[in-house]
């Protein structure tokens, strides 16, 4: 397809596509002549991911480029490739390990992982941004007087594990390694708002069931 068709099918303006090409976020098309290139379905798929990262996720161009670099690095195994791509996304700040509540949060999170048998997550805990984000969130809750501990977290973690199984089952339906990782990254940007909205809708439904509308 030519640039105009790529623009029409993706919903991204031709000028923006040219910008993504200049910034290395999109591979060059196959050159037909000095002024015309042809693009394919891989370009369309990648363009949708770039759009999700930049327009929806508000990820800076340099960060998007880093994420895409990891997605395209076929020298890595799938777990490391996916982890590297997701970890390149903007993350929570490092927790202050001198803070008493941070230390307590670390202990509670560790208990959850031990009780669930998440040995792989434990092995990655020192470098995982998700682990860091959870510790920061739990420490903040505790600092504000909410006694959030392993016992309270455990059923939520079990539900999230079920969600993760469904996530990766969906990822497995993609035909290539790059598409599998792309799908997982897109899910991190696009599906998490869906999960938050479903959670709130479920709360509204359960509240109405328990307490009615009065």
How does residue 197 score in pLDDT terms, banded at 50, 70 and 90?
A: very high
Give the confidence band of 67 by pLDDT, cuts at 50, 70, 90.
confident
> 156 vs 45, 121, 142, CA distance in Å?
33, 16, 17
Torsion sign over Cα 176, 119, 137, 193: positive
Residue carrying the six token digits 């799938």: 78
Alpha-carbon distance of 107 to 4, in angstroms, equals 55
Contact 157, 112 (CB under 8 A): yes
Q: What is the pLDDT of residue 117?
A: 94
**Domains within the chain, CATH numbers bracketed:** 3-77 (1.10.1660.10), 100-211 (no CATH)
Banded pLDDT at 73 (limits 50, 70, 90): confident
Q: pLDDT, tens digit, for every residue of 109-145? A: 999 999 999 998 888 788 888 888 899 999 999 999 9
pTM for this prediction: 0.77
| Average of per-residue pLDDT across 54-75 | 84
């Amino acid at each position: 397809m030519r640039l105009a068709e790529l623009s029409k099918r993706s919903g991204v303006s031709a000028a923006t596509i040219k910008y993504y090409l200049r910034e290395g976020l999109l591979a060059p098309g196959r050159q037909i002549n000095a002024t015309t290139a042809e693009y394919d379905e891989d370009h369309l798929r990648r363009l949708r991911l770039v759009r999700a990262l930049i327009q929806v996720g508000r990820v800076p161009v340099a960060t998007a480029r880093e994420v895409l670099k990891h997605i395209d690095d076929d020298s890595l195994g799938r777990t490391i490739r996916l982890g590297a791509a997701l970890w390149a996304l903007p993350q929570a700040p490092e927790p202050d390990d001198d803070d008493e509540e941070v230390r307590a949060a670390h202990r509670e999170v560790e208990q959850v992982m031990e009780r669930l048998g998440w040995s792989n997550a434990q092995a990655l805990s020192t470098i995982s941004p998700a682990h860091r984000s959870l510790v920061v969130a739990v420490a903040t809750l505790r600092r504000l007087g909410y006694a959030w501990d392993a016992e309270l977290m455990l059923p939520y973690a079990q539900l999230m594990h079920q969600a993760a199984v469904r996530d990766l089952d969906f990822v497995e339906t993609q035909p290539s390694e790059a598409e599998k990782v792309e799908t997982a990254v897109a899910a991190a940007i696009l599906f998490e708002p869906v999960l938050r909205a479903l959670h709130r809708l479920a709360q509204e439904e359960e509240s109405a069931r328990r307490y009615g509308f009065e």
